[in-house]
Copies of this chain bind each other. A is one copy, B any other.
Amino acid sequence: MRKTSFESDYNNGAHPEVLRHLLETNCESSASYGYDEWSESARKKIREATECPEADIYFLAGGTQTNATVIDALVRPYQAVLAVETAHINVHESGAVEASGHKVVALPSYEGRMEAEVLENYLRRFYSDPTWEHMAVPGMVYVTMPTELGTIYSREELERIWQVCQAFGMKLYVDGARLGYGLMAEGCDFDLPWLGHHCDVFYIGGTKVGALCGEAVVFPQGAPKGFFTHMKAHGALLAKSRVAGVQFDALFTDELYFRIGHHAIDMAMQLRDIFLKAGYEMKNSPTNQQFVVLDNAEVNLLMQKILFETWEPIDEQRMLCRFVTSWATTESDLEELREALHSLSACA
């Protein structure tokens, strides 16, 4: 029997409504390279959902590809991107941003978040200290919403970051690989239209939010000239673009994208509750990634029944572990976890 898996939010297939749309459109012929009718329809729906009628929207296959392509499109070759130490582009993308020529300058991370004040201090010093003339010039700020540690930005925090970016002539890019989970988190005090009016570019993650593959890059004020060719030069232009178009068309029909987010958050909060009630220490996270402290012995025992990721050793005895929910997580998965934890405590 297959074990219950909380390993990730891409350990599953497509949400049934996404899959159904792929099925029902499969026999029609279409244009390609982004000109197909479903891509057009999805763009229209995303423009409405973001209240950005002038937005240019492009669909790419995956997140790392999207980050490298967008960053390289918006900054000059000699420019760096500023991100927190724990940022996905700084740690877990195998140097993809550097591979297109740009340094990632790491600022301190506060539970995965960048602080506007830290950013501003860095930029002030950059432009005042003459010895910094030999450093890579900051061209963009990269933040993730929600962050790699599951935390979210408040409206005020993001707004201040955007103000700093504008004051120093920098682009603000929001990596929304898990955007649906961030926006549906308890405590999130902004929505998609607000986000669309407070950054230069962001992407709406599909792969981790119910699609088989695909990310939708949104340029609220229009894309930089030549972005189509730029995508192709990065190997990011899908020939059979309908594969992404149809899926995003489904995700933005009847608010599916938000329903998926809502469901996963509901499951995550229940999961959090299970661990907390069982007395485990957890990191602060209102989203679908939950980080739990387990003894190494507990890790081994629990892994026999439930799949999850070991995130980072805390010390020689303890491990920070990650449990992730998604559209595919069920009440019965949670029940399996509850029982597994129960038998764990029985063992002890």
Contacts and interface: CB of A to CB of B under 8 A. Distances in A.
A99 B62 contact: no
Count identical subunits in the complex.
4
Contacts of A130: 310
Contact of A26 (B19, B137, B207): B19
Given A2-B29, A243-B212, A232 B23 contact: no
A102 interface: yes
A72 interface: yes
Interface in A231-285: 232-240, 242-243
Contacts of A237: 62, 64, 94
A237 to B, nearest CB: 7
Interface in A200-220: 207-208, 212-213
Interface stretch (A8-16, A39-47, A297-305): A8-16
A316 interface: no
Nearest to A177: B239
A134 B92 contact: yes
A95 interface: yes
B31 A13 contact: no
Given A101-B99, A239-B63, A10 B32 contact: yes
A238 B30 CA distance: 25
Given A7-B32, A61-B238, A95-B102, 18 more contacts: A12-B29, A33-B133, A72-B77, A76-B225, A77-B101, A77-B233, A78-B99, A78-B232, A93-B134, A94-B229, A95-B101, A95-B103, A95-B136, A96-B233, A101-B101, A131-B309, A133-B229, A207-B240
